[in-house]
Amino acid sequence: MRIGVRQPRAKALLARLFQAGLQAVDPYEAVRRQVRIRRDQLIIGSHHYSLAPIQRIVVVGAGKASGRMAQALEHQLGARIDTGLVVVKYGHGAPTHTIRIVEAGHPIPDTAGLEGGRMIMEMVQTLTSADLLIVLLSGGASSLIPAPVAGITLKDKQQTTKLLLRSGATIQEINAVRKHLSSIKGGQLAAATSARVASVILSDVIGNDLGTIGSGPTAPDATRFQDAWDIVERYGVSRKIPLSVRRHLESGLKQGVPETPKPRAKLFRRVENILIGDNRAAVDAVAETAQRQGLHTLVLATTLTGEARELAKFFGAMAREIAAEGRPIRRPCCVIAGGEPTVTIRGEGKGGRAQEFALAAAAEVAGLPEVWVAGFATDGTDGPTSVAGAVVDGRTVVRAQRKKLNLAKALQANDAHPFFEALHGHIVTGPTGTNVNDLYLLLAL
Ligand SMILES: Nc1ncnc2c1ncn2[C@@H]1O[C@H](COP(=O)(O)OP(=O)(O)OP(=O)(O)O)[C@@H](O)[C@H]1O
Ligand SMILES: O=C(O)[C@H](O)CO
């Protein structure tokens, strides 16, 4: 990991903190920690499954991290796994033995994903109540296993996905629509099988709504056709979506097609949705490590939203309060927050949420000694860039002036990336293999 900080202690501390956060949500490590066989029991998180009566254990799944999850599951369960198939994004494969890995398109679904989804549905339909279906779910699953209902083609689904992704709708809203065009999302994977279902989930959704992560193939769907319709109307795409999609939604409104399974459906009595990693786990690991390093530690939140540059102002105000008054926490300290702020893009520049946060924070902490503020995307790619984030301190503004970099202009143009490139302020990890949104840190030594 490369951290763009000169002061050796701050540099070492930040590296250690981010590494601890990543390790806590590494998909391979998380599965190995949470899934194990002890005597005649399969233990997943806090759930125990008696192995003797289970006939077959079949594994399916989808998501960017699901290949690594499959690899770890094989390591833990070995020959107990009968067969399996997991769909990952192109380039996200992992070496497995029993569980087949299929690579497919993301964020726009493609034929490989369609075929993957079809094979998964076929597999789960053959299972009986004596079998256990383990589902490995992580971010990206919605696009990776498209299974459009009859009458909607892959092309229709691709077009609809593009429109929704560009519309400004939240992931909760996008997935509410996708669940109502699919035969696998919104609890329907669980409904398609008679087996007991254990869904092992790495969350990339703020607040961990099980119905939203990967469009909740094994979770009850609290949304209805009416919600899906309201969303396409609200974001102005109801007239742009393909006719087949509009007809299907309209038919759903008139109860012409069945709803997805709802929270009180009986089928969920044989389903467990088990979270094995989320933003909170990363934040907690950072906090524990900070404490062990002798820092006073304060966790602010794990569900941050809102404009990144506004969040930076808040971090700036807090840094000044710590420097002047020793509150809300005394030095040496580390303040930690997790979540996924947004950036309303107005300029033509290059950047990401974490870099824009850091850029705005530089102006806020200007002049403060021994203070660092960092934004960090846990997947290692902040926005459409190849860096994880950036870090600033009380002298960033002066250094920028010396290099004739205009901070205000860069912020106005959403152009944080070249700014930090010139100042060597980036945090670089390469792809981390996990994704639990972002971490935001303030260090005052
Ligand atoms: N020039 C820019 N400056 C700041 N933020 C940007 C810029 N360009 C894009 N972004 C932000 O980057 C994000 C898109 O990046 P990306 O494709 O990595 O999506 P993501 O939501 O981070 O995906 P994932 O959930 O898979 O990590 C959006 O939040 C967008 O506002
Ligand atoms: O796949 C999806 O729907 C998103 O990554 C949220 O989990």
Please report, in tens digits, the pLDDT of each residue of the chain (445 residues total): 999 999 999 999 999 999 999 999 999 999 999 999 999 999 999 999 999 999 999 999 999 999 999 999 999 999 999 999 999 999 899 999 999 999 999 999 999 999 999 999 999 999 999 999 999 999 999 999 999 999 999 999 999 999 998 888 999 999 999 999 999 999 999 999 999 999 999 999 999 999 999 999 999 999 999 999 999 999 999 999 999 999 999 999 999 999 999 999 999 999 999 999 999 999 999 999 999 999 999 999 999 999 999 999 999 999 999 999 999 999 999 999 999 999 988 999 999 999 999 999 999 999 999 999 999 999 999 999 999 999 999 999 999 999 999 999 999 999 999 999 999 999 999 989 899 999 999 999 9
Q: What are the residues whose beta carbons fall under 8 Å from the beta carbon of 32, sequence distance 6 or more?
A: 72, 75, 76
Give the whole-angstrom CA distance, residue 25 versus residue 285. 9
CA distances from 422 to 250, 381, 398, 403 (A): 53, 19, 13, 8
Most ligand 2 atoms within 8 A of CB, residue of 86, 213, 275 to mutate: 213
Q: Looking at ligand 2, which residue's alpha carbon is closest to its atom 7?
A: 213
Atom of ligand 2 nearest to the CA of 141: 1
Give the whole-angstrom CA distance, residue 238 versus residue 246. 7
Give the number of other CB atoms < 10 A from CB of residue 291. Answer: 12
Measured distance between the N- and C-terminal CA atoms of the chain, rounded to whole angstroms: 21
Tokens of 172: 């909760």
Give residue 329's pLDDT.
98
Let me know how long the chain is: 445
CA of 355 to the centre of ligand 1 (A): 10
Q: Tell which CATH classification among 3.40.640.10, 3.30.930.10, 3.40.190.10, 3.40.50.10180 matches the domain 27-147+182-223+260-277.
A: 3.40.50.10180
Q: Looking at ligand 1, which residue's alpha carbon is closest to its atom 16?
A: 383
Closest ligand by atom to 356 CA = 1
3-state secondary structure at position 73: helix
In the chain, ranges of CATH 3.40.1480.10 domains: 2-22+280-444
Atom of ligand 2 nearest to the CA of 174: 3
CA distances from 345 to 7, 100, 307, 341 (A): 33, 40, 10, 13
Question: Which residue reads 């299929």 in tokens?
Answer: 102
Give residue 349's pLDDT.
96
Nearest to 127 by CA among 197, 221, 230: 197
Give the number of other CB atoms < 10 A from CB of residue 433. Answer: 18
Residue 219: alpha-carbon gap to chain centroid: 17
Atom of ligand 2 nearest to the CA of 203: 7
With a 6 Å cutoff on the Cβ, whether 302 touches ligand 2 is no
CA distances from 375 to 169, 177, 236 (A): 24, 31, 33
CA of 305 to the centre of ligand 2 (A): 17
Give the whole-angstrom CA distance, residue 46 versus residue 4. 40
Helices and strands (H, E) in the chain, number of each type: 16, 16
In the chain, ranges of CATH 3.40.50.10180 domains: 27-147+182-223+260-277
Tokens of 318: 């807090």
Tokens of 182: 């699919």
Atom of ligand 1 nearest to the CA of 64: 26
Give the whole-angstrom CA distance, residue 137 versus residue 141. 7
> Can you name the residues that pair with 297 across neighbouring β-strands?
334
Instruction: Write out pLDDT tens, residues 357-381.
Output: 999 999 999 999 999 999 999 999 9
Tokens of 57: 């254990």
With a 6 Å cutoff on the Cβ, whether 21 touches ligand 2 is no
Q: What are the residues whose beta carbons fall under 8 Å from the beta carbon of 279, sequence distance 6 or more?
A: 203, 206, 302, 303, 338, 339, 378, 436, 437, 438, 439
Instruction: Write out pLDDT tens, residues 412-433.
Output: 999 999 999 999 999 999 989 8
Residue 42 — φ and ψ, nearest 5°?
-95, 125
C-beta separation of 156 from 245 below 8 A: yes
With a 6 Å cutoff on the Cβ, whether 204 touches ligand 2 is yes
Give the whole-angstrom CA distance, residue 243 versus residue 273. 35
DSSP per-residue string spanning 135-175:
EEE-TTHHHHS--BPTT--HHHHHHHHHHHHHHT--HHHHH
With a 6 Å cutoff on the Cβ, whether 214 touches ligand 2 is yes
Ligand 1 neighbours, Cβ below 6 Å, are 139, 204, 342-343, 345, 349-353, 356, 379, 381, 383-384, 414, 416, 435
Residue 80: alpha-carbon gap to chain centroid: 29
Nearest to 133 by CA among 224, 66, 218: 218
Give residue 168's pLDDT.
86
CA distances from 335 to 98, 311, 355 (A): 44, 13, 18
CA of 189 to the centre of ligand 1 (A): 30
Q: Which fold has domain 2-22+280-444?
A: glycerate kinase, domain 1 (3.40.1480)
